[in-house]
Structure 1
């Protein structure tokens, strides 16, 4: 399996820019919020870390995916929420502060959970000679590279708020462009597999996305969280960091498997549409509730 030196250089840089954008939106108060409001954060993390991998595993078995694609689905399920969730939550009148806190905390916890989920998936779906374990030490190195830009972004926001404000929009636009490029790379690297399995992988990825949104919204509602908090968790759970999943799959020092990147690439396209429809649907409830309160 060949790996382009350009790709080896591009993926870390692209991830760094995307995570820098996340850092520009974070403050230390976002982490402190876990102590002040533990219940919604705990519910969101339980949904993300426990329920979603289980749901993804059952969906993967149900669709009978080929081994590498099945591991790619589980890699996606283990990935933390993406920064795009914050934007969608804002548009849907969700609790954006909760979104930011969940993204920050889950990105750190993923250092432990991603190797565990992926290695269990490799052991279950792939033969011993096919499976290349995702070594914890290497994953820590990746997250240092990824979370380093987050820390830099937070530092810029704290010391130079004007610069952070000026950088915020351009970095968001660049992040969206880089995501599109990364998805294109993932598809082109294993085009034949993509063409062959796109319908079934697309159906599996769509099912997982819809289940993620449903679990993320209705589990908090059943546990008596407010609608804005439930919307925030729904978006956080339903919009995974597909860029990170693709990077881990393609990285020559980690999984180095183009096929494993395909589920995240397809998911990365689908989630924009499903999250938009979901946001429109749940935001109607927020507006109706607000109108009722005004009338009362």
Structure 2
């Protein structure tokens, strides 16, 4: 039952989540990146370059087993999840920047994720050349990520009333399906679950904390105002675990439930750390006027 659930459920969960993301996006969200160039560039550099490098150092420092190491690096290469928009909204971040970064990252990941997947698999699993993402697998990732986003954007543009009606059901369904899939992945490793948590738990926690701190601290050091830095912190600290789970565990892609364990653990840890981060850092009031926000953007589970 578990292999069938993973085979069918993971892609379905990802499609639902990315469709929900598309329902909350417009073309203007992509253009909005240019309105906050410093914050956007710093966030993208942190997301695409710094985090994978930091994660590589962590997996070496913690001596993770090869499959777990590759799984954590896959997570580092995954973009911020739509859940980042929710936390940014709750704790005073600039949601428009979150939406713009999520939109851009969801396109870029089709290129960057296969690169990280193949490099990490080649380094940690040199005796398993079949593990990786070839062109056919990359095209599947494209279909699972980009096509639902475009479909959701088209529905919002052409049928706005339908998009509004679908918003809540898609959000609820996204959460339910993702929770079921995370539970299935953990259940698939039940016999080794305690050992996996012991082996990867501290590395996942360290990576999550560093992601949040770098995401917020790097923009602030560069003079980016508080609300934009808060948005970047959540965008970089909250990854799209559904994408990582799908790529790692789906039999049509990396085909390793073990590789999916770091993402499943991260999906639990990140909510605790994100709440703590929000309470500690993002309740500050700044005297400078905040950049204008657009109308509230629907947020999805990620």
- Which residue of 1 is the match for residue 88 of structure 2? 89
User: Normalising by structure 2, what TM-score?
Assistant: 0.91
SS of the residue 2:223 aligns to: coil
- Which residue of 2 is the match for residue 281 of structure 1? 280
Q: For 2:26 and 2:246, locate their aligned partners in 1 and report how far apart those are by CA, in whole Å.
A: 26
Shift of 1:214: 0.3
- Which residue of 1 is the match for residue 146 of structure 2? 147
After superposing the two structures, state which structure 1 stretch, 158-167 or 255-264, moved more: 158-167
Q: For 1:60 and 1:136, locate their aligned partners in 2 and report how far apart those are by CA, in whole Å.
A: 27
Structure 1: any 5+ residue segments left out of the alignment? none
User: 1:47 touches 1:237 (CA, 8 Å); kept in 2?
Assistant: yes
User: 1:80 touches 1:103 (CA, 8 Å); kept in 2?
Assistant: yes
User: 1:3 touches 1:252 (CA, 8 Å); kept in 2?
Assistant: no
SS of the residue 1:4 aligns to: helix
CA RMSD of aligned residues (A): 1.7
User: 1:122 touches 1:133 (CA, 8 Å); kept in 2?
Assistant: yes
User: Normalising by structure 1, what TM-score?
Assistant: 0.93
Give the number of equivalent residue pairs: 289
User: 1:123 touches 1:131 (CA, 8 Å); kept in 2?
Assistant: no
Structure 2: any 5+ residue segments left out of the alignment? 290-302
User: 1:115 touches 1:136 (CA, 8 Å); kept in 2?
Assistant: no
- Which residue of 1 is the match for residue 10 of structure 2? 11
Shift of 1:51: 0.4
Shift of 1:131: 5.4
- 1:95-110 correspondence to structure 2 within 5 Å: 95-110=94-109
- Which residue of 1 is the match for residue 196 of structure 2? 197
If asked which structure has higher relative contact order (CA below 8 Å, sep 6+), I would say 2
After TM superposition, where is structure 1 displaced by more than 6 Å over at least 4 residues in a row?
Answer: none
User: 1:53 touches 1:77 (CA, 8 Å); kept in 2?
Assistant: yes
Shift of 1:16: 0.9
Q: For 2:119 and 2:128, locate their aligned partners in 1 and report how far apart those are by CA, in whole Å.
A: 15
- 1:1-296 correspondence to structure 2 within 5 Å: 4-129=3-128, 132-285=131-284, 288-290=285-287
